[in-house]
Amino acid sequence: MKTLKLRFIALIIVITATAACSVDNGPQTCFFNAQMATTAVTGPETALVNVPITFNVTFRVGNDCGVFNRFLETNGFPKQIVALVDYPGCDCTNTPTATLTKPYTFTASAAGTYELKFVVDTNVFITKTVTVTVD
């Protein structure tokens, strides 16, 4: 009986080890996201209080799997803005000069002068100044 128990335990250990060392790791999933450098920004220099204005922001995309996610922005002013790009794929071709252009909407709730800094690199920005008036 004792030998049967030992053989059963040995069998369980062998099965567990075999399953743990399986060559097939399942489906490969590749995903990451990155903040991408702004290359150009166009848009108005004036706006009215509580009226949205739109800037066309062009930014780099590292490979052909790149999909725009959203713009990240800091609180307060001057506001720093950067494009967040998702890369969902394993078989992507590098495209170091590829860019995307997406709209960024800005709405000021009070009159004044606002600085929007679109990130190009660490401490390097494309700065847009917007003057907001009541009328």
pLDDT tens-place string over residues 46-84: 999 999 999 999 999 999 999 999 999 999 999 999 999
| Greater model confidence, 13 or 112 | 112
pTM > 0.85: no
SS3 for 123?
A: coil
User: Could you tell me the maximum CA-CA distance found in the chain, to the nearest angstrom?
Assistant: 94
Q: What is the pLDDT of residues 76-133, one digit of tens each?
A: 999 999 999 999 988 899 988 899 999 999 999 999 999 999 999 989 999 999 999 9
Helical segments of the chain, H only: 2-20
- pLDDT above 70: percentage of residues in the chain: 79
Q: How far is 32 from 41, CA to CA, in rounded Å?
A: 25
In the three-class reduction of DSSP (H, G, I as helix; E, B as strand; rest coil), residue 37 is classed as coil
pLDDT at 115: 97
The long-range contacts involving 67-70, CB below 8 angstroms and separated by at least 24 positions, are 68/100, 68/102, 69/33
pLDDT at 8 over 60: no
What mean pLDDT comes out for the span 5-26? 44
Which residues are 103's β-sheet partners? 56
Domains of the chain: 32-133 (2.60.40)
Q: What is the mean pLDDT of the chain?
A: 84
* Across 37-41, average pLDDT: 97
